[in-house]
Amino acid sequence: MTHPTDGRASSEGRPWSPIFVDGEFRSAHGPQLIPVMEAASGTVMAEVADADSQDVDSAVRSAARALACWAATPPAQRADHLERLQKAMEDRSEDFARTISQEVGTPIRQSRAVQVGNPITITGHIAQTLRTYPFEEHIDSCLVLKEPVGVVAAITPWNYPLQQVVAKVAAALAAGSTVVLKASEVAPLTALMLAELAAETGLPPGVLNVLVGRGPTTGEALVRHPAVDKVSFTGSTRAGRRISELAADTVKPVTLELGGKSASLVLEDANVAMAAKFVVYNAFLNSGQTCTALTRLLVPARLAAEAVEVAVATAAKLPLGDPLDEATRLGPLASQAQQERVRGYIESGLSEGARLVVGGADPPDGRDLGYYVKATIFDQVRSNMTIAQEEIFGPVLSIIAYDSEEEAVAIANGTAYGLAAAVWSADQDRALAFARRLRAGTVEINGGAFSTSAPFGGVKQSGHGREFGRYGIEEFLVPKSLQL
């Protein structure tokens, strides 16, 4: 089978991709095509079919037909399918990485290590977990079964287009559910590549179906569909609210992984230079287009000047450039809309009185094409400023000074979000005590490594539900009690 964008052309001669339904690529019912823009140049790199409500219905019906057989497939066989898919992703890893760098703007080295490396690892972890997962247990006189939730609508974002797809799809398939995936129209090509691999590795028709379309049309039709049993969504808090409203009409359960405004809390006894370096690298990973990005650096007032100095020096070591250049550490943003949004937040920071210490809203020198934004750092940021409260999703870091530890905890918890956080201290027990006080789904201690087996998700307006490992599988299972 050819790559879904090979050998086919739109009326303008650009490569295009159809939809993937019932185990094959087919022409969409809707006649519209969506251009996929290359982040570094702002030019069209491909076009994809804009799925309409009839395409959604076709995909959901396909998943519903495949459900009974897939749910009855022994877990070990489902694990075999996932491991074959994992191996196929490994074999195509460079293709995936380069495509993501072009679509999203992620520097190629980050694409290989994170954008593609993580999904491969996630798939392997889920397959391994599936082989030993207890789908039955005895409680008193009852036999409790954990059964597939049914047909899953998976709606994924553009910033980590393969990882967020795999986190949902692999877990749902492991649970015995079938999936209709709506990939983001901004970065859809890797989802279609994954569909191709699913067919090549023998995943039964209908178990995974892949559409591309816009949220208000394709996404809403999918959430509203009466044969969809569960919705799993990653994206903005605004869109998550809308999905919850629509799903309520048919009482569908919903998993939401939404926005974040994560704080990195540096305590008095911490190595502030080490913390500041780490936070800059974290906040500017994928040009800040990361929901868990530590975009607020909270430091004791007497250490603020040192933190600013180290942060500025660290940002200077992140060369901005073409994401396919091995030397690049800061690529473009994924779209013009995102570029304009981030520049607007930078201007907001200036108008509200924050001090710009590096970067700014002006275009980077020599980058007239593409969606570039300079690495930007503010200090003298007050916790009630817009740039300290709202998710920017770009390379913008706010440094906030505090006078007491109670104030630091209040600032860290003082947003609508609760996805991630970090604590730095020379005393690990002290750091753990502070971590327990933070309202966040994930807290890094002294730069602790992110795990794709541990539960991932948020609290407050960062959403509910968890992904990764057995926690992700359980989002797509429903317990049934047999009274014996």
Please tell me the distance from the alpha carbon of residue 316 to that of residue 283, in angstroms, as a whole number: 14
Instruction: Calculate the CA 119 to chain-centre distance.
Output: 11
Asked if 204 and 69 touch (Cβ cutoff 8 Å), the reply is yes
111 DSSP assignment: I
List alpha helices for 324-463, DSSP H.
336-351, 386-389, 405-412, 428-437
Asked if 130 and 473 touch (Cβ cutoff 8 Å), the reply is yes
* DSSP per-residue letters across 275-294: HHHHHHHHHHGGGG--TT--
316 DSSP assignment: T
Asked if 396 and 288 touch (Cβ cutoff 8 Å), the reply is yes
* DSSP per-residue letters across 429-460: HHHHHHHHHS--SEEEETTPPP-SSS-B--SG
User: What token pair was written down for 265?
Assistant: 């809390």
Q: How many CB atoms lie within 10 A of CB 187?
A: 28
Number of residues that this document lists for the chain:
484
Asked if 50 and 30 touch (Cβ cutoff 8 Å), the reply is yes
User: What token pair was written down for 118?
Assistant: 């993580």
Q: What is the CA radius of gyration of the chain?
A: 22
End-to-end Cα spacing for the chain: 50
User: What token pair was written down for 438?
Assistant: 């933070």
User: What token pair was written down for 7?
Assistant: 């050998």
Residue with tokens 């553009």: 158
Give the residue from 237, 15, 239, 145 showing the smallest Cα distance to 484.
145
Among the listed residues 185, 257, 474, 475, the single catalytic one is: 257
Instruction: Name residue 358's beta-bridge partners.
Output: 377
Please tell me the distance from the alpha carbon of residue 174 to that of residue 128, in angstroms, as a whole number: 10
User: What token pair was written down for 398?
Assistant: 């706010």
CA angle at residue 364 from 362 to 369, to 5 degrees? Answer: 105
Among the listed residues 47, 103, 185, 291, the single catalytic one is: 291
Give the residue from 313, 295, 294, 298 showing the smallest Cα distance to 268.
298
Please tell me the distance from the alpha carbon of residue 437 to that of residue 246, in angstroms, as a whole number: 34
Q: Are strands 230-234 and 254-257 parallel, antiparallel or unpaired?
A: parallel
Q: How many CB atoms lie within 10 A of CB 188?
A: 27
- Quick check: is 69 catalytic? no
Give the residue from 332, 373, 330, 375 showing the smallest Cα distance to 357.
375
> Which residues carry out catalysis?
257, 291
